Amino acid sequence: MPKAFITGITGQDGSYLTELLLEKDYEVHGSVRRTSSLDRSRLRHLYQDTSIYGSRLHLHYADLNDVTNLRRLLMRVAPEEIYHLAGQSHVGLSFEIPESTCDDTAMGTLRILEILRDLPGAPRFFHAASSEIFGSPDSAPQDENTPYRPVSPYGCAKAFATSMVRVYRDSFGLHASNGIMYNHESPRRGENFVTQKICQSAAAIKLGIQDKLRMGDTSAERDWGDARDYVRAMWMALQQEKANDYIIATGVSHKVQDIVEIAFDYVGLDWKDLIERDPRFMRPADPKKLIGDNSRARTVLGWAPSISFERMIQEMTQAALNHLSARNRSHS
């Protein structure tokens, strides 16, 4: 039974990756931060299953800035594969907390790479990089050789981490790959991301819980894919004989406005009367023309996205309707 270790296992990607690896008969270990809350909702269905949790799924307390504990944990678990997904991943929030963003995202990755240098039979390593490393690129679409031009603290931190993965691969022979992930969403997306905010607001307005959706700039464009497709690419990257960097993207651009229209149409509402512009949600600097060329992933990995943008937004909106309706029933 192959053994994998996931940092950030309780996040959107971590939870889907856990399900994928369990389906492939892995033993899965993951690191979680010690907090006062024990609610890890994205994994609840797994750790409440006694046939899985404690047998094929194991959660461990660890923090990216606690090198001694992290080293001890990796030596004890001895995984064949490590998927590094942890870190502060909200671009807008990184302007408010730049130091902790860089410590978690940049230095946290370097600390793991340093541990891997010393491990006997170093495991294969996947780093979840980000399209934010390109920031405001001169050309579109971007490929693996596009120069880094980050425009946010998060983008800067990811650019550092992505570069260090390449350095350790080339200098120390680690099987270390970067998946340069473009925006990817799902019903498990955090509430502070714009896609989830829109889908939840459409559902809440439909149910009479909310009156308006307050938004910043809806003309911003992104290459949005589905997280369930993207975790497949993570696994496929580590099955290759040679490590490499891969653009994980759909190659298709959509506007924030498209999300608004799909979500509100799904619940049968006219968005035009229900949106208010709010300058508080405008970012200091917003990357433009971010669209990925996924040719290498298609050719080398045999990967392609399978879930359409429209279906993804509709599923997120339906999940929000289900959640809010259940909460209303429990409170009534």
Active site residues: 130, 132, 154
Q: How many CB atoms lie within 10 A of CB 310?
A: 14
SS3 state at 210: coil
The number of C-alpha atoms within 13 Å of 42 and in the hemisphere containing its C-beta is 19
d(CA 160, CA 139): 21
Q: How far is CA 143 from the centre of its chain?
A: 19
Can you spell out the DSSP letters for 56-108? TEEEEE--TT-HHHHHHHHHHH--SEEEE--S---HHHHTTSHHHHHIIIIIH
Comparing C-alpha atoms, which of 160, 195, 158 is closest to residue 180?
158
CB contact at 8 A, 218 and 256? yes
SS3 state at 170: helix
Q: What string of H, E and C letters represents the secondary structure of 221-258? A: EECCEEHHHHHHHHHHHHCCCCCCEEEECCCCCEEHHH
Kindly report the length of the chain: 332
CB contact at 8 A, 2 and 26? yes
d(CA 134, CA 290): 8
